Every structure is written in structure tokens, then in C-alpha cells.
Structure 1
Amino acid sequence: MVKNFFLLLLNLCFGLVSAQNSYRNLSSENWTFNKQNDSQKNKAKVPGTIHTDLLENKLILDPFLGTNEKELQWIEKENWEYETKFNLSKSELKNQNIDLLFEGLDTYATIYLNGKLLLETDNMFRTWNKSVKDKLKIGENHLKIIFKSASNFGKEEAKKLPYTLPGEEKVFTRKAQYHFGWDWGPRFVTCGIYKPIKLHFWNDIQIENVRYEQDSLTDELALLNFKISLNCEKAGNYKLKINSETKNIELKKGQNTIEFPIEITNPKRWWCNGLGEANLYDFQINLSKKNKIKDSKKLNIGLRTIELIQEKDEVGKSFYFKVNGKPVFMKGANYIPPDSFLPRVTDSTYNAIVKNAVDANMNMIRVWGGGVYADDVFYDACDKNGILVWQDFMFACAMYPSDEKFLESVKQEVVDNVNRLQNHPSIALWCGNNESDEGWKNWGWQKQYKYSESDSTAIWNGYKKLFHEVIPQTLDSLLSKEKNSYWPSSPSIGWGRKESLLQGDSHYWGVWWGMEPFEIYKKKVGRFMSEYGFQGMPSLETFSKFTNSDNFNLDSEVVKAHQKHNTGYQTIQTYMERDYKVPTKFEDYIYVSQLLQAEGMKTAIETHRRAKPYCMGTLFWQLNDCWPVTSWSSVDYYGNWKAVQYQAKESFENILISVNAEENQYKVYIINDELNAIKEKLELRLIDFKERLLWEKIIEVKVEPNSSKVYFQMDKKELEKFNLKQIVLNLKFNTAKTNYFFEKPKDLLLEKPIILIKKIDETTIEVSTNVLAKNVFLFQEGTFFDDNYFDLLPNEKRILKLSKPAKDIKVMSLFDTMK
């Protein structure tokens, strides 16, 4: 009796497995790797990369430490083999269909299953799926993957062309371009199984794809049309259920697409950060037959409209996003992959990146085209937090092949990633590439590579084929009209041309690359500033993680190795000399470099915001790092906020007071990104550094919604009786407050402040000072402060929250570097 019961239970369990879709993750099997033709096999981790596996087996030193990078370039020149054995049960093999799913292979992989060639891959950004039921056997199965050197492959392909394409060998590889090195990242042309490998068991039918179209959206009603792609092995009658609504459907064998309309009354709209809640609706999609669920999917969607508005005006053409019918000024930064070795990036890393954007009052992130399409968890976090995504396709700063094989690979890459991402309400724009159009027209490639007229024509025609035909036409086949906003290249016109500031989006690099002063930002304002930036060094805590204190100097080979711009430190030095007294201590130099970066970005951001609605977006370069490095990032590789991230938090507030010196006047702007008017008092106080009141004015102002306007101005002559090196203008309006200094930091006559820290509770402190303390910096190892690098006025009490209990807090201010 007991035996019969267990047999019945086994049959029920088998029936459940047979009737439903299920997955088995092969990543957890025992994998090994070896250099091709090398008999020594080592334990591998999947997902992983060859570099991280070599490191795990102590066969190489940590790639991020010291100058190890240059010693590890041999790895990219080799081919590498990965293999595993896995057992398959009789019940598993009885499933009608078994697919082998490769979610991400980097990049040129030849795959053998039980000794027979199964698949060859050539695109890191694709998902590869292969039917394998007839190739599997009960008991032990053998899976082997050989990765060919991507750099060798690229060089071989380059030889086939009669000319050289800008970007060298990397452009021939559909692989993350930053792996080949960038001016903020190391060269690690890695390979490996960087995403999971799974067996997919399914019977009768599977849901291949779910997308929806938003036919209409009003405050009273949302009309959605779900389009569900099904692969049916067994024709017949099925039941499709979305939440509580059910539809009986008759399916034919093979591919079927079912439309399923859904109505939502009194819909709650999805809003971007700062303007409302990012409301999401959950949908459970079940496909069943005879009351048995055959397959299911979950979907979270946000109801919103988003439009890219480009309309001719008196000076050029607008470029702004309208969300739910409202023009929205975009505030944010550019995002790069968070690690050179992608499998090390965890869900918590992606969530932290988005949280950093939210906490700094951003509403948009641009996913830059030289990296990778981010994991789902990144876009989920953007959805939940109201962060819009400008999504580049993965092309950057180069020209690409246009042969049929390459174009077909890109087309399938677009299909895979757009199908994966299109239901995310955070996706605002699809963009073809980063700076390829600008590079071709403005960077002198034709002269550098000595192209003939026929060479130039062939390359440019190939560019147009890829970015003006293949990608947009593929988008047209995948997306409904309200989701299909495409921009071929960012920027549309290069920063050296006048037209770049009159239409389209702009990358302005006159500051940094052109060595122009920060003040030039005030003259070079485009319609949408999608790139600009300045470097700042990471914290001493970060330097300590890749080198020892003996190397804490700018002449150190290690410190130089962690600066990828050829003249990076010289550029920082030149700009620092303009605005600050240059410190001699390495720790102080780091601190001032961060203040310099923050001041430059403040100048740019506030200029762009003052120019609203002419300018309707500002995305600085860059939000994050892929390794510990001196770069343009506002948050370093380990998640430490630089001064510029704190400055962005202030400069991106919905309500901002910004003072600007214009000709013979100081003008006080109030920028309001809220959708409602605000009527309150604007308070202005002119004080010295000991808080002696020199002048005061309070005026009642009404600030219009979604606007930027001057609400007060004063002649410079009025201040001639004061020493501008010893005074500050303190301003307050509503939730906004700011301090405006009339001289550069190096010229201020600062006094030594006595900064007091009072503990309120375990994670709350109060900071005060007796005289002006400029750029107060608080540090406690491993601790995040919710405000830092701030100006503290005499007798002001600043309340700060800490991520860890306050124990041994160190404090400094700008005065400490000016001795």
C-alpha cells in the first residue's frame, strides 16, 4: 500500500513536470576551464569570465591591483575551453521539448554537446536557444564550449577590408567595446559564460514573448492591447488568463499571436522621479489546458505617455521630452557597466546605482553605447523609482562593418534586447550609437586613415545602412508607435559646430578636452546637453584598495596606471591652478580635485537649468566606474560618493536658486520643475565670514510652474564698498537655499574654523562652526553621510544622517589645504 502510494506520488510529480514549462540551471554543475591544448583543467565558476576564473584559481594576480593590468594582456590572445558533465533523468528526457538556453556568451563560442557540434556564436549581446532533445541521453551528458580570442578574430576580420575602420579590431566584434580599453577603463578583452546556461523543458506549448500596446490613456480609462506570441506543439483549445480576465483560444500547430485587450478604469499614471509616484500595474499571464497551467509570465507595466518633441522655433529646433503631456527637464548622468567583469555585478549593485540616481534627484540615466545592455534588475529598479532611460545601442566612437553577416547579427541583437526591454515604462528613447556620426564628421578620420573618395563613400553608406535602415526598421517591426522613439546618433552634431547648440542633443567637451575654463559653459548651451564632464580623483579609501601608501603621489606608476586619460592629471592640475590653491599633500590634492570637479559640474548644470525651456536636459558624464580609477564619475567603483554627486543632489533639486554674474549685474534665478506655482518669500542676506549682516532683503515672489526666471538683480556697483573676498550671499526660498561667493576659492580670505560635531543618536550628528567653514568634508571609514563637502555658515546647525554609528569621524575644510 505504501509502495503504491509513492508510485502514485511519483507519477503525479512527473505529470506536473511534463505538463508545465520548467528550467534547470546548468550553471551550478561542476565546470572546468583550460587554455586550449593545455591538459591542466581548473575549476570554473559559471556565470564568470576567464579573468575571474584565473584569479579564483590563483593563476594570476588581481587585475585591479597595482599595475597588474599590463601583465595580463596575454590572456586575450589565447583561446579558452569550458566544459561540464551533467546527468539527465529518464523523466526529464520524456519532456516533448528540451531547449538549451545560453543567456550570454562572450563572444566567439563553438559549442559541442556529447561530442557533436551544436552551435557557433558571434554576438555577446544575444540570447542563444537551441533544441537539443534529440542530442541528449539518459545519464551523463557532456557540454564543451571553446572561446576564440575576440581580439584575434577582430584583427583577422580587419585584414579583409581594403581600408582601416576607426575603432580598430573591436568594431568587428559584437562585444562590449569598453573591454578593449577606454579613457576611464582598463583593457581586459575577456571571454566566458557570463550569463546562465539553462535547460528548458516544455510540453504542448510555450509563451515566447509578451508585449503590450497602450492604445489610449486618459484620467478615466486606459486601453491596453496585449500581444502574446506562442509556440504551439499541440493544436487545440487553450485558455489564456490575464489577471482575472479569461479568453478561450483555438491554436494551430506552430507560431500563434494572440491579442488580448485590457481596460483599466481611473488609471494611476507612472511619473518620473520628482513629479509623482512611479505607479506600476502587475499582470499575471497564465496559459492553460484542461485546468493545467502550461506556461506563465509576469509583467509589471507603467501607464504613461512619453514623447520626444522636436519643433522648429526662432533659433533652431527644440529637443525635449514630454511625460504625460507635460514638458519635463531631464536631470541625470551617463551610465557605464559597473565592472570590467560583468558576472561580478550583483542585483544589489544595480539597485545601488539607481538609488544613487534617485538620491541625487535625477530623473534620467543614459545607458552609454560602449558597454552592454544592462540586466533586467537595473531596468526594474528604474521602473520602480521613476528613472527614465535613454538607451543606446551598443556602438560607440567608431565606424562599423556593413556586410550582410554583421548586419544580420545586429538585427537579431536588436530583436533580442528590444523584446526584453520594451515593456519597461522607464525606456524613454532608443539611440543608435554614441558619437559615431560626430566622429566621422568632426574628428578627422578621413585624413587620419587616408581614405580615398570611394573608401569614404563605402564607409558612410555602411553607416547609413546600419543606423538609418537596419536598426530603425527593426524597431518598426517590434514596437508600437508610442514606444518607438529613435534617435540615430548622440550627439546629432559635433560640439565644435554652431548648429550643435541650436538643435538636437549636444556633447560639449570644450571644457576638459578643449581646456576651456568652466565659465565657457555659460556660453555653450544646447537644447539638450547629453554629455559633458570633468574628472575628479576617487577617495583615499579607494586608492588604499589598489595600492599602498608608498604610492600616494602623482608620479607613482600605480597611480598613473589608474588614470586612463593620457593627460588626465595634467588637465586636473591646470584647472586646479585656475581656481584653487594647489595642495602638496596627496590626501588634500584628492579632496581639492573633487571640489574642482563639483564646481565645474555645478556651473554647467545650473547654466543648463537657468536656460530652461531653451535647454531641456542635462546629463553629465559619468555616473559610475567599472574599476577603481581617476575618472569623470560622480560615484567611484566602490560606491563612494565624490563631491560632485553631493553637488548634483543640490543642483538637481526641483526648486533651485541660482545666482549668475551677467555683465554689470548679479541675477538671482529661481528654477521650478514642479508642476504647480509657488508663492513665498525670497530671503537674501549679505554676510561676512563671521556672519555679520551687511545687507538684507526679503521679497514676496510667485514662481510659475515648470519655469526658470530672474526674480531679483543687483548692480555690481552696490558691492564696491565691500571686500568681495570676505563676503557671501546667502539665499533661501521654499525648500531651496544656497550660498554665492563672489571670488574664486583660491582668493577667499578664509579663517580657521572650529568645527564641532555633536552626536544626537547612533547615526545622527549635528555639525556647527564659529566662522565660515568652506566645503566641510566628513569621513569615517565605510560610512556614508547624507550630506558632505558643504559650506557651513557660523552658528548654522547642520543635521546629518550616517549609514553606520558615529565613532571616529574625521573632518576637514578648504582652509586646511590653504596653509
Structure 2
Amino acid sequence: MTAITPLVNSLTRRTLSTGWDVRAAAGPTEVGTQRVAAAVPGVIHLDLLSAGLIPDPYVDENESKLSWIGLVDWTYETVLDITPNELASSQRHELVFEGLDTVASVTVNGVLIADVANQHRSYRFDVTNLLSVGGNSLVVAFRSPVRHANAQSVALGTRPRPYPLPFDAIRKSACSFGWDWGIATFASGIWRPVHLDSWSAVRLDAVDVHASPHGDGGTVTVVARLARTDDIAATLAVTVAGCTEIVEIAADAREAHITVEIADVDRWWPAGYGEQPLYDVNIELAVGSSVLDQTSRRVGFRTLRWNTEPDATGTPFQLIVNDQPVFVKGVNWIPDDAFPSRVDAGRYRRRLQQAKDAHLNLIRVWGGGIYESEDFYDACDELGLLTWQDFLFACAAYSEDEPIRSEVEAEARENVRRLAHRASLALLTGNNENLWGYEDWGWKERLDGKSWGSYYYYELFPTIIDELAAHVPYAPGSPFSPGGQHPNAEEHGSMHLWEQWNRRDWPTYRDHTPRFVAEFGWQGPPTWTTLTEAIHDEPLTPESPGMIVHQKAVDGNVKLATGLVGHYRVPEDMETWHWAMQLNQANAVTCALEWFRSHAPHTTGAVVWQLNDCWPVTSWAAIDGGGREKPLLFAIKNAFAPRNVSIQPRGDRLFATLTNDTATEWNGDVVVRRRRFDGKLLAEQSWSVGVPARGNITVDVSVALGEPKNAGGEVLTVEGMATRAFWFFTEARDSALTDPGLSASVTRINETAFDVTITATALVRDLTLLIDKIHPSARVDAGLVTLLPNESVVFRVTGLSNLDADAVLRPEVARSGNQLVAK
């Protein structure tokens, strides 16, 4: 009897990105049933927009005009041509969808191969026996996500949520149903790549990689799970940092383990704490001399944990990397586009570089969005931006029944496995605000015994992490108290602070000394260019129709005005209103960040809501939907500077806090001075100080300095050691700010960069260049600068071919708090 030699060849991957079209199959379509070219990856809105069949959803009041799209079933089709050689050269052909959004039936040559209903996972289908030589029909028929969610809500039971449509009843990005900063799209489409994988004998099915340091060296462990068509012996080789280990795999084995020891590695550090060396782990599966499959992971060697040991004042939530406590300077991240398939590697890199340039070291991926692409996590690894990844549950009670239950487990397993090797991954979190909601938002009564998601947060997710990635820290929710206290307890774990924006003024941030702040923020409009590119109201006012469409927060404009009036009067003209709200947003977050930072190490970090926007909108973002930096980003940059000084009230006294987030001691002389607004010195006090590395000190300001004779016309400064802080004794609206008498000079640096020197003849508060008003592509490196009389500041402006001083000094460009006070 002659043995049959198995077919052995390398896995080949064919990307199926061209030749697709899409049509409306059922529902209230306003474009008929014509076929239009479809982009894959993409979604239906982008296809209809490219075909000229719908207006831009981001512009004016088009959002409501396009709501019908979410009620329509959309069918995507293509023809897959297969040659005889392609069909015969491999034993197995598998269709791989990296992401389908969301409810769809997949057929090949008229045969149904799957019904799917989860945006947050991938799918792999064996189509070997369905393919034939020539053209093969591939159809992905999407069903209305709105109708599906409504039907599932009835089947599973209605549960509490903050918005009308049941985003909790479908495994789809929650914010695609609209949020208090987001457009409702209800999109459908093949939103991530599609491939045809062809292979024989054996391939890599899943690969888990973990890098850990020890002494000067490190260990990389690899667990490879295999898929087979034949029982055939193989080898697995792993190479990292020039070291290779090979293991033999028995013919019937379905799993292989390898450990590679490296004698000398460099540690990976968060931004601001060191470098980010990364090492490629190359993995090859072979039979004899033939490499059948291969993959790679990039890893960094570091230890990471969160200290939650109770202390005298409660329970800390302190990040420790390589045995070094890290003060978390963070921001919350939402999808960078309401249609995430438009966000490519370059855009991720730009956005995250903006974050790093603002001295941030952690990005929290919020639970109402998506698990981001590899491009996002690659950039975080490279830039040293730690990632805090929520599982995708937000602000609602979720059913624990089928079919949701199994889908949640499948997506969690896939994404834990996908992310666990990342050097930047600092925390996995069960949900956003659901533990808090269960306690405080009336859920218990309305649920009336129904499940709400606790099984996922307290049982399923910890079990999956223990099994697949025991080295990755986990918290059941955000906010969360590790000792079992109220989930939003100030003294324990992480806290969200929203009363300031919703009901109280922003100086009341100083009423709180939390252990860790995972969310807080203040609204402001986008940059003027982004605003006016999207809204064409005549006249444009804060309450004009397009502005209201692009303000999603409940009573958002009322809260903006209420939050401003204690500090500045509400302006009547639109451009000044725009600046006042941007400035107040920046001042609010500055107040909070400097206060929290002054309480380190009791407070161990602050995560601002939010870094970015998904479309042009008035929101809490520091970078708007056009990718432009709002004054808020400069507030974050200033407050999170490696070395910072601020003046803080505690009781009836003032204190100067110096914070040193560098690896070296900070020594020098510090002078506190009280002056009149015209610059005349009234009193001063000086010290020689030393601020320890990664530490801070607080200096008591004397009573004589802290009690002005004319509160509205005097200012306190802390100066020295290449930094300065200001304290104003009254709100700006009650002060004697005058026209600052600005002058400017411009020096060309290169073809697209200029240094702009601005001098003030009188005290100027929060001087900021709204540089996009000169050119939409222009950027400036700093903002919110306060100058004493006859002082100057240099701004670096980029993205322009020409610039003159007169353009910079236009009152709508060179903005300050003085303009909101001075007559």
C-alpha cells in the first residue's frame, strides 16, 4: 500500500478589496435600488457619498436627512475569479472578514455560510467545497441595524440606557447610534478588510506572545495554536533579538509552546520616563524546509502593575512601570471618525503625536466606541502612549442572555488575544460607567430582576484574561473602587467627575481630592475653520439651526452660558462667543489638572474627557473633528508640562506647588510677587527650593502677599526656575483688564514656518493665536500665554507659505481674555 503524501505549500492571502458594489435591498430607500461601486473596507454612507447620491452627513442639518439609511437593508456583492491552479494548489480555502458592521448574511455561490451580528469580532469561513473555477458570487446582505436592535430589545427585554435607541441590544459601536458629542449614523458595511486564505496541511490559527524582563535580559513566550488539514509533523521557530528557538510539533499536536531567553534587552518606558525600544518576534511554521505560515509581533520589555493596596486615606489607583510610579497624564479617546474605515495609519499617527506633544502618556479607549486597528496600537507602542482599553460596554445595562452572551465572549477572547502582547497596554476595563449606573441611576428598580452585565464584568472577562493574558491588569469598570466601596467613591480607586459641567461651576473641582480621575471635562466649540466648513447658517449664531445640530449635549448651550457667566460675560457676537467658550473650556480644565497634580501622590493621575472628535461638533474635545487643536490642547500641554508651578487655594490661604515629573532634581530660587496690573511691584517673597525627581513640594504664600489691596487690579506670580504661574484675586469679568496694546514681528524660519514675537504694553491674559483664521492648514505650537506689561512671547507658526504681522494682530486672530472684559 502506497502512502499518500500530503499537499504542502505556504499559506497565500488574497485581499478582496476591489470589484464590490452595493444596492438597497429593502426598506425606505431614497436612492432606489441602483447598484453603486462600494469601497471595501468602508460603509454605505461613504459609498452613497462617493456616488453623489447623498450630501455630506457632517454638513449643516444633513444628519436627520440621512437617518433613513439605518432603516434600509443593504446588499454588497462581488465576483471572485478563481483559476484552476488556484483552486487545486491548496487543500483549504477560507474566507476571512476582519470586520462586518453589523447584522449580515454571507453567501457564496448562493449557499448561505453564515448569519453574523457583531461588529467587534472577525470571522473565518471554510469555503473550499463552495468555490469553483471561474467566477464565484460573494454576497454580504446587511440588515437594518436599527430594526435589528429594536427587535432584539424586545426579545431580550428593555434595559436602562441614556438614549432612545437600544444600542445595548446589538454588538455594534454604541456611539454609532449617536452620543452627546456624536452623530447618529446607523451605518452598515464591510468596515474592515476581507481576504481569501488558501493553505494546506497546517497553519497558525492563533498566536499568543508575552515579553517579560528579568535583570538585564528578558524572556519571550509564544503559544501557537494550529489549524490542520493533515496530521503531519512540523516545526515552529521563534526569533527575537538575534536569538532563535525551534520546537518539533508532533503530527497530531494542535498547540506548541516556545520560550526564548535574551541575555540583554532595553526596557520600554512610557512617554516622559524613557525610551520605547521594541523588538520583533518572528514566528515561522514549517514542514521540512518549507515555511507554511509565518507571523510577527512587536514587543517591549517592561513590568507594569497598578497599586491598589489600601492606605491611611483610602485605596490608591497608582500605575507602576518598571518599579517606577508613573503619574498618569491621560485623555479619553473616541473613534476619530464616525466612519472609522476612513482613519488610516497616518491619521492615527498624527492624532497620537499631537497627544504626545501635549505631554500626555496614556490614552483611554472608551467603551462606547470600537477596538481600534493595529495602526492605533502600533503608534501607541512607538510613541510610549500607554493604552487603557475598555471592553465595549457604555452607560447602559446589558443582557446576559443568548445570543448576546456568546457574542460577548467571542469578541472578548479575540481582542484580549489580539492586544495582550502590546507594550503600551496598561489596563483592560470591563465597561464605562455601568457599575456607577447600577448604583445611582435608578437601574435596580427599572431592571426589576433582569440581568445588567455584572456576569461579564466580574466573571467572564477576568476568566478570559486569566486564561489568555494573565499579565494584563484588569478593572471591572470605570469608575471603580477596588475595595468594594461605591464605584465612584472619591477616596478609592478611579473616579468620574461630571457635576462641575452638569450642575456646578469649574472652580469646584477644588472641592475634590480623588485618588485617580478617569473622566472629567468641559465643552467648547471646534476651531472656527472646522465650524464654518460644516455649518453655513445665515446668520451663524450659537442657536442657529446648524449649530444646534452640531451640539449634542442635553442643554449644552445653556450649560456653556451658565459655566461662562461666573468668569466672563456672555458675548453677543458669534466670533467672540466662540472664543469665550473655547477659553472657558481651557480655563476649566487647567484649574482641574493643576489642582489634581498639586495633590500627587495622593492623586495619581487624571484622564481628561476627551482628546478627539469624530465629526465637527461642540464638545469636550481638545482636537476637533477636522484634526485642529483647540485652546484646550494648550491647556493640557501647559498643565502637564514636565516641570510645572501653580498657585492653589487651600482653606483661606494660598500655596505655590512645584511639580517635577523628570528624572532629575529641580533646584533654584523661586520668587512670589504681588503686582498691580500696570506692573508695579507691591510685595515679594523668595525661597531656594529643591524639588525631588518625580516629586513635588508645596510652599506657603505669606498672608501679606495673599491679601491684595485692590483685588480687581492686582496679580500674584510665582517666578523662577524657568517657569511661572499667575493667580488673579477676582474673576476676569470683575477685573481691570484693559487693551493689552499688542505689537508683533514675524521671522521666517523656513518655507512653511515662522516665529511670531508678540509684545504686550499692558498685562494680557491667556493670549492665544486662532491661527486657522489665517489659513486652514496653519498650526501654532503654544497658547494661553499670560504676559506682564512690556513682556514678549514667541509663537512658532507652521503650515503657511507667507505670514505678516498685521494678519496675526487682527483681533479675531490674536485673542485674549482682555477682549472679553476691556471696553
TM-score by length of structure 2 reads 0.92
The equivalent residue for 1:5 is: none
- Contact map agreement 1:655 1:735 (CA 8 A) in 2: no
What are the within-5 Å matches in structure 2 for residues 157-172 of structure 1?
157-161=152-156, 164-166=159-161, 169-172=166-169
Is structure 2 residue 217 aligned with structure 1 residue 221? yes
Give 1:477's match in structure 2, choosing from 462, 467, 476.
Answer: 467
Is structure 2 residue 33 aligned with structure 1 residue 33? no
SS of 1:751's partner is coil
Task: Kindly state the Cα deviation for residue 706 of structure 1 after the two structures are TM-superposed.
Answer: 2.5
The equivalent residue for 1:527 is: 515
Equivalent-residue separation in structure 2 for 1:731 and 1:567 (angstroms): 39
Task: Kindly state the Cα deviation for residue 162 of structure 1 after the two structures are TM-superposed.
Answer: 5.4
Deviations 1:611-651 (A, max 9, x none): 11111110011111111110111111011111111010010
The equivalent residue for 1:19 is: 9
Deviations 1:118-177 (A, max 9, x none): 111111000100111221111111101110111111211222245544365211100000
The equivalent residue for 1:736 is: 723
SS of 1:174's partner is coil
Q: Which amino acid aligns with 2:332?
A: N
- Contact map agreement 1:35 1:78 (CA 8 A) in 2: yes
What are the within-5 Å matches in structure 2 for residues 516-555 of structure 1?
516-548=504-536, 550-555=538-543
What are the within-5 Å matches in structure 2 for residues 3-402 of structure 1?
19-36=9-26, 39-93=33-87, 94-161=89-156, 164-166=159-161, 169-214=166-211, 216-218=213-215, 220-234=216-230, 235-238=232-235, 240-243=237-240, 244-253=242-251, 256-402=254-400
Equivalent-residue separation in structure 1 for 2:181 and 2:229 (angstroms): 50
1:647 to 1:630, Cα distance in 2 relative to 1, 3 A: same
Q: Which amino acid aligns with 1:72?
A: L
The equivalent residue for 2:641 is: 653
Equivalent-residue separation in structure 1 for 2:578 and 2:337 (angstroms): 23
- Contact map agreement 1:111 1:145 (CA 8 A) in 2: yes
Q: Which amino acid aligns with 2:280?
A: D
What are the within-5 Å matches in structure 2 for residues 384-533 of structure 1?
384-447=382-445, 449=446, 451=447, 455-456=448-449, 458-460=450-452, 463-480=453-470, 482-483=471-472, 485-492=473-480, 500-513=489-502, 515-533=503-521
- Contact map agreement 2:760 2:788 (CA 8 A) in 1: yes
Equivalent-residue separation in structure 2 for 1:516 and 1:54 (angstroms): 44
Deviations 1:403-444 (A, max 9, x none): 143211111101111111111111111100001111111012
Task: Kindly state the Cα deviation for residue 184 of structure 1 after the two structures are TM-superposed.
Answer: 0.8
Task: Kindly state the Cα deviation for residue 212 of structure 1 after the two structures are TM-superposed.
Answer: 2.6
Give 1:813's match in structure 2, choosing from 813, 816, 819.
Answer: 816
- Contact map agreement 2:209 2:297 (CA 8 A) in 1: no
After TM superposition, the structure 1 stretch with the greater mean CA deviation from structure 2, 93-102 or 717-726, is 717-726
Deviations 1:771-790 (A, max 9, x none): 22222222222211001232
Task: Kindly state the Cα deviation for residue 587 of structure 1 after the two structures are TM-superposed.
Answer: 0.6
1:246 to 1:617, Cα distance in 2 relative to 1, 3 A: closer
Q: Between Structure 1 and Structure 2, how many residues are aligned?
A: 789
Task: Kindly state the Cα deviation for residue 251 of structure 1 after the two structures are TM-superposed.
Answer: 2.4
* Structure in which a larger fraction of residues adopt helix: 1
SS of 2:791's partner is coil
1:280 to 1:161, Cα distance in 2 relative to 1, 3 A: closer
- Contact map agreement 2:238 2:281 (CA 8 A) in 1: no
- Contact map agreement 1:31 1:46 (CA 8 A) in 2: no
Deviations 1:166-200 (A, max 9, x none): 36521110000001111111211111111111111
Deviations 1:499-547 (A, max 9, x none): 711102100111012x212222111221110011110111221111112
Task: Kindly state the Cα deviation for residue 18 of structure 1 after the two structures are TM-superposed.
Answer: 7.3
Equivalent-residue separation in structure 2 for 1:595 and 1:254 (angstroms): 66
- Contact map agreement 1:367 1:390 (CA 8 A) in 2: yes
- Contact map agreement 1:232 1:251 (CA 8 A) in 2: no
Task: Kindly state the Cα deviation for residue 336 of structure 1 after the two structures are TM-superposed.
Answer: 0.5
SS of 1:699's partner is strand
Task: Kindly state the Cα deviation for residue 733 of structure 1 after the two structures are TM-superposed.
Answer: 4.2
- Contact map agreement 1:177 1:371 (CA 8 A) in 2: yes
Give 2:695's match in structure 1, choosing from 707, 720, 739.
Answer: 707
Q: Which amino acid aligns with 1:258?
A: A
TM-score by length of structure 1 reads 0.92
Equivalent-residue separation in structure 2 for 1:576 and 1:39 (angstroms): 50
Equivalent-residue separation in structure 1 for 2:434 and 2:815 (angstroms): 44
The equivalent residue for 1:751 is: 738
Deviations 1:250-302 (A, max 9, x none): 32446532222222233211111111112212222233344333222222111
- Contact map agreement 2:159 2:397 (CA 8 A) in 1: no
1:733 to 1:383, Cα distance in 2 relative to 1, 3 A: farther
SS of 1:19's partner is coil
What are the within-5 Å matches in structure 2 for residues 521-670 of structure 1?
521-548=509-536, 550-670=538-658
After TM superposition, the structure 1 stretch with the greater mean CA deviation from structure 2, 689-698 or 641-650, is 689-698
Equivalent-residue separation in structure 1 for 2:263 and 2:734 (angstroms): 62
The unaligned stretches of length 5 or more in structure 2 are 1-6
The equivalent residue for 2:759 is: 768
SS of 1:797's partner is strand
The equivalent residue for 2:4 is: none
1:276 to 1:78, Cα distance in 2 relative to 1, 3 A: same
Task: Kindly state the Cα deviation for residue 382 of structure 1 after the two structures are TM-superposed.
Answer: 0.7
The equivalent residue for 1:8 is: none
Q: Which amino acid aligns with 1:96?
A: Q
The equivalent residue for 1:692 is: 680
1:665 to 1:367, Cα distance in 2 relative to 1, 3 A: same
Q: Which amino acid aligns with 2:659?
A: I
After TM superposition, the structure 1 stretch with the greater mean CA deviation from structure 2, 438-447 or 131-140, is 438-447
1:680 to 1:719, Cα distance in 2 relative to 1, 3 A: closer
After TM superposition, the structure 1 stretch with the greater mean CA deviation from structure 2, 409-418 or 704-713, is 704-713
SS of 2:203's partner is strand
User: What is the root-mean-square deviation of aligned Cα atoms in Å?
Assistant: 2.2
- Contact map agreement 2:670 2:687 (CA 8 A) in 1: yes
Task: Kindly state the Cα deviation for residue 216 of structure 1 after the two structures are TM-superposed.
Answer: 4.7
1:83 to 1:237, Cα distance in 2 relative to 1, 3 A: closer
After TM superposition, the structure 1 stretch with the greater mean CA deviation from structure 2, 134-143 or 776-785, is 776-785
1:757 to 1:18, Cα distance in 2 relative to 1, 3 A: farther
After TM superposition, the structure 1 stretch with the greater mean CA deviation from structure 2, 125-134 or 746-755, is 746-755
- Contact map agreement 2:521 2:609 (CA 8 A) in 1: yes
Equivalent-residue separation in structure 2 for 1:499 and 1:144 (angstroms): 47
The unaligned stretches of length 5 or more in structure 1 are 1-16
Task: Kindly state the Cα deviation for residue 332 of structure 1 after the two structures are TM-superposed.
Answer: 1.2
Q: Which amino acid aligns with 1:724?
A: A
1:684 to 1:165, Cα distance in 2 relative to 1, 3 A: closer
Deviations 1:667-704 (A, max 9, x none): 10112222432222223333333333333444211112
**Percentage of matched positions with identical amino acids:** 30
1:262 to 1:497, Cα distance in 2 relative to 1, 3 A: closer
SS of 1:27's partner is coil
Q: Which amino acid aligns with 1:313?
A: D
- Contact map agreement 1:55 1:61 (CA 8 A) in 2: yes
